[in-house]
Amino acid sequence: MKKIILSCLSLMTITVVISLLVYLGRDHAEELPINKESQNEILQEIKKVEAQEEIVRKWVNTSDYDGGFVDHPDEEILAKYKNKKGVVEYLFATVLMDNPELFIQAFDTETISKDLFKDDEIDKKIVAQRMMDRISRNKTLVGVGYTPLKGSFGAEKDESKVILRYKDDLEVSLELSFVKGGTAHAEDDEIYSVSTSAWDMIDQIESH
């Protein structure tokens, strides 16, 4: 009887240990806001930057301009896009907004240019809208999970794992790649943009 009890206890211990290891090994994605509040926040940030850049343009055209770099108008907004997570949040929030111009700004210039010209449609805003509709599956995207990926020495890679969740319970796992590029404001104002093709994202989504 004792042997049976000990065997049962050993089996339970092994089961608990395995379950714990499986749990710890799972990706714990951070949920990103893509709701109306987040979308409105992005619009306000864009309007703020555009207003400040208009002030800068007027200043540049005065006789006082000495040819140096202009400080970035809003360091808080800039800091958001120096982070890959901020760019992912921006990308999928704009996917749900009827504003193709904001959507394409999430991508590296070379990447989005190639994507837009893969479609024969002359009006590239229409092409961008088609991309948005297919990524969102006609605005049924309801959640985005984000996990940074790390290299062999623990440093963050220029890729991130993203889980897209839709109203019909479909979940799609994507790996997005990023590149850094400077802004027009200062040499050290490098922000991330998505270098993964939008069409590759669509292919992965629609293959499920």
Half-sphere exposure of 173 (CA within 13 A, CB side): 4
Residue type, 143: G
Confidence (pLDDT) at 188: 57
Confidence (pLDDT) at 194: 94
Q: What is the pLDDT along the chain (208 residues), one digit of tens a residue?
A: 544 444 444 545 444 444 443 333 344 678 887 777 777 877 777 776 665 555 545 544 554 544 444 444 455 556 667 788 889 999 999 999 888 988 998 999 999 999 999 999 999 999 999 999 999 999 999 999 999 877 665 556 688 999 999 999 999 999 999 998 765 444 556 788 999 999 999 999 999 8
pTM value surpassing 0.95: no
Strands, sheet with 171-181, edge to edge from the N-terminal-most edge strand: 30-32, 141-150, 156-166, 171-181, 191-194
